[in-house]
Amino acid sequence: MSTHKITTQKVNFKVFRFNADEDYLPYYEDYNMEVTSEEVVLDVLNRIKWDHDGSFSYRRSCRHGICGACAIKVNGRSTLACKERMHDMTELFGAELTLEPLSIKRAVKDMIIDKGDFWEKHDAIHPYLISDVDEHPEHEHLVTPHEAEELLEADLCIQCGACHYACPVVEINDDFFGPAAFAKAYRFEADVRDDAHTERLQELHEEKQGLWDCVKCYECAEVCPKDVNPIDKITKLHQMLFKEGVATSNVATRHAVGFLHSIKKHGVLDEGGLVLYSEGPGIVKHVPVALKMFTKGKIVMPWNMPKSDNLDEIQKLVKSSSTAKF
């Protein structure tokens, strides 16, 4: 017998209400409810609709963390409503919980948003296996356990949008594909049966959709209900670009490779050298701030660059352990 104890607690839910057809502005309605520690957020949404206001709208389907329909935000945190328990939510945020749609600017009715941008970007990465399959194959296409492992995590994505609408870059840059689309792209890039490998990578590398614009904030990894760890997949796509020789010279790729040059030469990073190497002639736009920094003692001149002790060790390791080329 489990000794786990179910507790009850009074929670005040501040719930986002909005009907795009009727309301000029959204408003928040308070619902004071007694909840048990074992209830999930979706139970609360159901109770609001069933016990308080039948017009309250939200998406739900499977109730088992598979369909990805019910993701909303609780106190600003993207949350799959059918997965997160009240116990964990109150532990994170206390007894005052704000329920909002994943993206307020895309709200249609209450918790329901127009997820069009998410699906458009998802479509754009060709989220399917592209392979010439013989009509009458003579044997199975074998995938080793090791090869399958490479895409396992990414394959768990349920397209709930939790990471997409937690990503700060998605909020700022409409063209940015976002963590979910990139993680999905990786899922097919890592699939040994896929034949569109290089073409898809080349498309991803185009500047507009921003594979290199990820700010590395880890918001996506933090919220993913399926532990897809999208930022890890974005990093792996970056590595793949170099490994497959698809990476072309631009400010982002030079910035990544620039670290290697610095480390080889100094052990530590040469900040000025890195900006120069990454930007090329574009460095002129940094001159005004750099001059101010210089007057405040924040710029080290090349002849004063610090170096790591035992630099020869670092150089030896760079030589023997490098696995990428540019």
Partner 1 sequence: MEKLRYALFTGCTAKQSTPEQMMSTMAVADKLGIELVELTEASCCGASHLQDYDDFLSLVLNARNIAYAEKHSLTMVTICNTCQLNTAMTKHRLDNNAELKAKVNEKLKEVGLEYKGTSNVTHFLYAIIDDFGLDKIKEMVVTPLSQFNIAPFYGCHNIRPSELQNESHKTPENPYNPTSLDDLIIACGGATVDYKEKNKCCGFHVELQAPHTAAVLTGTAIAGAMDGNADWMVTPCPLCHLKLDTQTGHASEAIGREVALPVLHMQQMLGLALGCSQEQLGLKHHLTKVDFV
Q: Which residues bind partner 1 (CB under 8 A)?
A: 75-77, 92-93, 168-169, 172-173, 210, 212-219, 221-222, 229, 235, 238-239, 242, 251-252, 255-260, 262-263, 267-269, 271, 275, 278-279, 288-289, 292-293, 296-300, 306, 308-310, 313-314, 316-318, 320-324, 326
Our CB check for partner 1 shows the closer of 136 and 296 to be 296
- Cβ(14)–Cβ(30) below 8 Å: yes
| 141: exposed, middle or buried (Cβ count in 10 Å: 0-12, 13-18, 19+) | exposed
Query: From the CB of 258, what's the least distance to partner 1, in Å?
Result: 8
Which residues make Cβ contacts (< 8 Å) with residue 146, sequence separation at least 6?
Answer: none
Q: Where are the beta strands (DSSP E) in the chain?
A: 8-17, 27-36, 71-74, 77-80, 96-100, 107-109, 112-113
Our CB check for partner 1 shows the closer of 161 and 267 to be 267
Query: From the CB of 93, what's the least distance to partner 1, in Å?
Result: 7
Residue ranges of alpha helices (H) inside 40-178 are: 41-47, 86-93, 116-124, 145-155, 168-172
Our CB check for partner 1 shows the closer of 108 and 256 to be 256
Query: From the CB of 76, what's the least distance to partner 1, in Å?
Result: 7
DSSP state, residue 49: I
- For helices 116-124 and 179-189, the axis angle rounded to 10 degrees is 20
Judged by DSSP in three states, 171 sits in: helix
Our CB check for partner 1 shows the closer of 66 and 215 to be 215
Our CB check for partner 1 shows the closer of 66 and 217 to be 217
Our CB check for partner 1 shows the closer of 193 and 292 to be 292
Query: From the CB of 198, what's the least distance to partner 1, in Å?
Result: 19
Query: From the CB of 315, what's the least distance to partner 1, in Å?
Result: 10
φ/ψ (deg, to 5) at 133: -100, 130
Query: From the CB of 97, what's the least distance to partner 1, in Å?
Result: 12
